[in-house]
């Protein structure tokens, strides 16, 4: 074996091992649980139930001995797939778990109200949608007992508000709770779960607990003097706002809360199927394996014919620094006078009208400055090969894992116009980024500086108009994750066959695709 092949083959074996181990454990969590996609009116849903509870014939009616129903609602930019860790845990314990896509999210083509602040816009719409699901679940599955609710982040407020007003609702679990609707008396059975690295939300959960017991501390379960109100506040160790969904502590605490409320503890509880202690670890293993695998693949690809022309070297005296810093400084200022124009949701996706404009102006400025420095678009014979491989691998392998185990990663038709709008900004940006970072005059540290400059530019845009653009803050982590994952993949393939133009276009399309898959649909301006 040639010496240069040892490291790629070793990394390939490690990546395949991680990928296989992670997927096997994630699939093991599904053993014994039946999943059925359905809908309650316009609300797409997935019903999870144990094989024994599904009843003969696999219909939707409640099976013999099946436990109470639990409706699970996701947070902002999430989908029902993000709630499958809780859904599988409940189903294994004999509950009927119903995970839903709220308006504007996942597979739900009904746009969410663009008024996401206050109580008369999106909040009212989402509560009304949940109300319809609660009624539909009771009607379809013959439930006589109150329906339990679990909501994460944005939906924690929705489930709390529904419980306060609806006698059909039983115990409530609010994960990463942001609701201000909790009172000393309602909801009557409320468990708040937060991650260790959510200090502000931990304060919210503790405040809700102390409405019943002023001296209570985190981790306690307290009750009112007459026993009509019961509260708990649990902290999941070592996790943050997303990791709390996969924590064993979170899932076990939620299950114990429902079991206690429904009297399903001890001898009264049905036997539960064994489940992996953690879903977060296997998920990280699978994603890490899929990510790492592309590096040895790119190193082992055959090189045929003459080597491609290396990236351009700027002429003497031409600096690349303006292309790095000037777009970051100029773009927020240039777009500031047009905030009301680019702020309207003409894309039909929350915050994307401004983001697409920002990316487009930033990218076009950078392309013009790069061209002035002697670096421009050029013919790249065979450049379509690494670009096609990047798209195929990112969507076919990595995207499949994300879509099955994390969240929806296949945009529904209603999202395609927004995808096209975002691509108009994302492609120029990633073209400039690819040309800049493959130029031989660029120091290694500038790879990080270029991405930091873009994020700082967007942060400045938010600061200039926080009331209109605060939602962009939710998408900054998406951009950072994109550069870390897909940017690294493009760099590996670029070493196999330098093609900054083709790879820049491919990355721009990928970024538009990723944003279109997760950004909420909203009513157009």
Which pLDDT does position 54 carry in this prediction?
Answer: 54
Q: Selecting from 3.90.1720.10, 3.40.50.1820, 3.40.640.10, 3.20.20.480, what CATH number does the domain 30-275 have?
A: 3.40.50.1820
414 token code pair: 């209603």
d(CA 174, CA 196): 15
Question: In which band, very low, low, confident or very high, does the pLDDT at 314 lie, cut at 50, 70 and 90?
Answer: low
Is the pLDDT at 351 greater than 90? The verdict is: no
d(CA 150, CA 175): 7
Which pLDDT does position 87 carry in this prediction?
Answer: 97
352 touches 471 (CB < 8 A): no
14-43 per-position pLDDT tens digit: 999 999 999 999 999 999 899 999 999 999
Q: Is the model's pTM score more than 0.85?
A: yes
31 token code pair: 């053993």
End-to-end, the C-alpha distance of the chain in Å comes to 62
391 token code pair: 């798209």
Phi, psi of 157 (to 5 degrees): -65, -40
456 touches 464 (CB < 8 A): no
495 touches 298 (CB < 8 A): yes
Which pLDDT does position 107 carry in this prediction?
Answer: 95
Buried b (16+ CB within 10 A) or exposed e, 331-353: bbeebeeebeebbebbbbbbbbb
Which pLDDT does position 58 carry in this prediction?
Answer: 47
48-77 per-position pLDDT tens digit: 999 765 554 445 665 545 789 999 999 999
Write the CB contacts of 27 (distance below 8 Å, at least 6 apart in sequence).
none
Which pLDDT does position 490 carry in this prediction?
Answer: 93
Counting beta carbons within 10 angstroms of the beta carbon of residue 215, is it exposed (0 to 12), middle (13 to 18) or buried (19 or more)? Answer: exposed
Degrees to nearest 5, angle at CA 165 with 164 and 167: 95
Which pLDDT does position 347 carry in this prediction?
Answer: 81
90-115 mean pLDDT: 94
- Higher pLDDT: 478 or 133? It is 133
304 token code pair: 């045929």
Nearest to 73 by CA among 189, 172, 208: 172
From residue 159, alpha-carbon distances to 142, 239, 243, 437 in Å are 21, 23, 20, 46
Is the pLDDT at 120 greater than 60? The verdict is: yes
132-187 per-position pLDDT tens digit: 999 999 999 977 778 999 999 999 999 999 999 999 999 999 999 999 899 999 99
Nearest to 418 by CA among 518, 516, 342: 516
Where are any strands of DSSP class E within 112-203?
147-152, 169-175, 189-195
Which pLDDT does position 375 carry in this prediction?
Answer: 84
Which pLDDT does position 444 carry in this prediction?
Answer: 72
Percent of the chain with pLDDT over 70: 89
d(CA 285, CA 293): 12
> Which ranges in the chain are annotated with CATH 3.40.50.1820?
30-275
76 token code pair: 């902002």
320 touches 370 (CB < 8 A): yes
Is the pLDDT at 7 greater than 50? The verdict is: yes
d(CA 69, CA 83): 15
Which pLDDT does position 144 carry in this prediction?
Answer: 78
Residue 397 per-residue DSSP state: I
375-388 per-position pLDDT tens digit: 888 888 888 999 99
d(CA 445, CA 422): 28
Counting beta carbons within 10 angstroms of the beta carbon of residue 514, is it exposed (0 to 12), middle (13 to 18) or buried (19 or more)? Answer: buried
From residue 513, alpha-carbon distances to 109, 408, 416, 459, 494 in Å are 17, 12, 9, 22, 21
Mean confidence (pLDDT) of the chain: 88
């Amino acid at each position: 074996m040639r010496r240069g092949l040892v490291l790629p083959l070793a990394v390939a074996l490690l990546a395949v091992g991680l990928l296989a181990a992670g997927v096997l454990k994630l699939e093991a969590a599904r053993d014994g649980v039946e999943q059925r996609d359905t809908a309650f009116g316009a609300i797409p849903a997935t019903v999870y139930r144990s094989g024994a509870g599904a009843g003969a014939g696999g219909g939707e009616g409640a099976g013999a001995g099946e436990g109470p129903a639990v409706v699970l609602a996701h947070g902002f930019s999430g989908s029902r797939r993000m709630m499958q860790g809780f859904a599988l845990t409940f189903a294994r314990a004999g509950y009927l778990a119903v995970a839903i896509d709220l308006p504007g999210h996942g597979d739900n083509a009904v746009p969410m109200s663009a008024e996401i602040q206050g109580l008369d816009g999106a909040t009212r719409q989402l509560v009304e949608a949940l109300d319809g699901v609660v009624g539909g679940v009771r009607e379809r599955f013959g439930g006589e007992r109150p329906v339990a609710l679990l909501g994460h982040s944005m939906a924690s407020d929705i489930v709390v508000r529904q419980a306060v007003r609806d006698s059909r609702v039983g115990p409530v679990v609010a994960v990463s709770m942001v609701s201000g609707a909790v009172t000393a008396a309602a909801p009557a059975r409320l468990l708040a779960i937060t991650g260790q690295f959510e200090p502000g939300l931990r304060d919210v959960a503790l405040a809700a607990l102390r409405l019943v017991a002023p001296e209570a501390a985190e981790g306690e379960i307290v009750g009112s003097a007459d026993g009509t109100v019961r509260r708990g506040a649990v902290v999941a160790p070592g996790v943050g706002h997303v990791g709390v969904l996969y924590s064993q502590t979170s899932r076990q605490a939620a299950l114990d809360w429902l079991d206690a409320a429904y009297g399903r503890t001890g001898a009264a509880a049905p036997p539960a199927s064994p489940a992996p202690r953690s879903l977060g670890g296997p998920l990280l293993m699978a994603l890490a394996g899929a990510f790492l695998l592309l590096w040895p693949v790119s190193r082992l690809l055959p090189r045929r014919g003459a080597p491609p022309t290396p990236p351009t070297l700027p002429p003497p005296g031409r600096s690349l620094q303006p292309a790095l810093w000037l777009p970051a400084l100029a773009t927020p200022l240039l777009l500031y006078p047009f905030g009301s124009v680019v702020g309207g949701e003409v894309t039909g996706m929350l915050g994307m009208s401004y983001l697409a404009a920002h990316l487009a102006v930033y990218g076009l400025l950078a392309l013009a400055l790069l061209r002035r420095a002697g670096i421009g678009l050029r013919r790249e014979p065979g450049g379509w090969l690494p670009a096609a491989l990047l798209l195929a691998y990112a969507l076919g392998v990595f995207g499949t894992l994300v879509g099955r185990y994390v969240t929806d990663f296949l945009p529904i038709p209603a999202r395609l116009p927004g995808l096209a709008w975002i691509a108009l900004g994302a492609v120029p940006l990633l073209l400039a980024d690819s040309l800049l970072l493959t130029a031989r005059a660029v120091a290694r540290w500038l790879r990080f500086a270029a991405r930091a400059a873009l994020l700082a530019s967007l942060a400045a845009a938010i600061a200039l108009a926080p009331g209109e653009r605060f939602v962009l803050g939710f998408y900054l982590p998406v951009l950072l994750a994109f550069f870390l994952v897909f940017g690294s993949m493009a760099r590996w393939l670029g070493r196999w066959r330098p093609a900054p133009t083709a790879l820049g276009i491919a990355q721009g399309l990928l970024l538009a695709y990723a944003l279109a898959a997760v950004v909420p649909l909203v009513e157009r301006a």
